[in-house]
């Protein structure tokens, strides 16, 4: 996780209140303690328009090590090879990957989920045809096996360990049997995916990023939860 800086309780309360007034905001969503900080030195963390804009135009470029176009093509290729019909992008941010998936996977339906309604606001401009949902990725509001593909880019390794494990478990839950999950993160981050089969791993950006492709195996007789 990158260095963070605390936001005062009063400022936090103002940011949260302002966020609830956005059209895409779900007022039932709570913001966990770990989230309400000045992530990446953004002045209001992820809860303001100027922070979302700064993230899209500066922080995201650094996250992708200036290799976003190549990385997006690799993600889309992995999904295309799996025959993806509907995909969920977890932690979609300002929607740059959603836009790439929309362009490179014609015919597929694309959804994005993020904890910041300001990020979703920008994602709506990048990928207007995508279904955008304001929710915590550690408690996704979809039923089991709702998607045949899930992407999680710069998410699992950038949150506290217990949160990453919860998001990984939700990723596995909403992924259909036989479906694929594509994860992009730094190779030195822990991998919390446990219930999926690793199919491939490829380095990006001189090895500073790694793309991992997983498949959800069928539940064999005798393996059902008791």
**Torsion (CA) 183, 125, 55, 76 in degrees, nearest 10:** 20
For 63-107, give the DSSP string: HTTT-HHHHHHHHHHHHHHTT-SEEEEET-TTSHHHHHHHHHSTT
Tokens matching residue 106: 């014609």
Q: What is the DSSP string of the chain?
A: -----B--HHHHHHHHHHHTTSTT--TT----GGGSB-GGG-TTTTSSHHHHHHIIIIIHHHHTTT-HHHHHHHHHHHHHHTT-SEEEEET-TTSHHHHHHHHHSTT-EEEEEES-HHHHHHHHHH-TTSEEEE--GGG-SS-TT-EEEEEEES-TTSS-HHHHHHHHHHHHHHEEEEEEEEEEE-TTS-----SSEEEEEEEETTTTEEEEEEE-PPPPTT-S--
Cα–Cα dist 39/198, whole Å: 30
pLDDT for 224 equals 55
Q: In sequence order, which residues have a C-beta less than 8 Å from that of residue 155 and are 6 or more positions away?
A: 90, 91, 137, 164, 167, 185
CATH 3.40.50.300 for domain 68-215:
no
Q: Tell me, what's the pLDDT at 116?
A: 97
pLDDT at residue number 214: 97
Q: How far apart are CA 1 and CA 189, in angstroms?
A: 9
C-alpha 197 chain-centroid distance: 20
Q: What is the pLDDT of residue 121?
A: 97
Give the pTM: 0.92
Query: Residue ranges per domain, the chain?
Result: 9-63, 68-215
What tens-digit pLDDT sequence spans the chain (226 residues)? 444 577 888 999 999 999 999 999 999 999 999 999 887 778 888 999 998 998 888 776 776 766 888 889 999 999 999 898 999 999 999 999 999 999 999 989 999 999 999 999 999 999 999 999 999 999 999 999 999 999 999 899 889 999 999 999 999 999 999 999 999 998 998 889 999 999 999 998 778 889 999 999 997 656 554 3
Cα(9)–Cα(107) distance, integer angstroms: 45
Q: What is the pLDDT at residue 222?
A: 60
């Amino acid at each position: 996780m990158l260095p963070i800086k605390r936001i005062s309780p009063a400022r936090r309360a103002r940011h949260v209140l302002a966020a609830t007034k956005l059209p895409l905001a779900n007022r039932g969503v709570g913001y966990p303690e770990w989230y309400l900080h000045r992530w990446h030195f953004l002045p209001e963390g992820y809860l303001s328009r100027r922070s979302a804009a700064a993230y899209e135009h500066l922080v995201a470029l650094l996250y992708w090590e200036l290799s976003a176009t190549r990385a997006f093509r690799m993600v889309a290729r992995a999904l295309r090879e799996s025959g993806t019909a509907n995909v969920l992008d977890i932690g979609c941010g300002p929607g740059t990957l959603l836009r790439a998936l929309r362009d490179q996977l014609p015919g597929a339906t694309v959804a994005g989920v993020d904890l910041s309604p300001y990020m979703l606001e920008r994602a709506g401009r990048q990928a207007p045809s995508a279904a955008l949902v304001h929710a915590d990725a550690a408690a996704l509001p979809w039923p089991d096996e709702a998607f045949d593909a899930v992407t999680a880019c710069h998410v699992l390794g950038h949150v506290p360990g217990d949160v990453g494990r919860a998001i990984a478990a939700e990723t596995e839950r909403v992924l259909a049997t036989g479906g694929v999950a594509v994860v992009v993160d730094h190779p030195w981050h822990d991998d919390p995916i446990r219930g999926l089969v690793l199919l491939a791993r490829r380095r990006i950006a001189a090895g500073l990023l790694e793309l991992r492709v997983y498949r959800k195996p069928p539940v064999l007789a005798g393996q059902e939860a008791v």
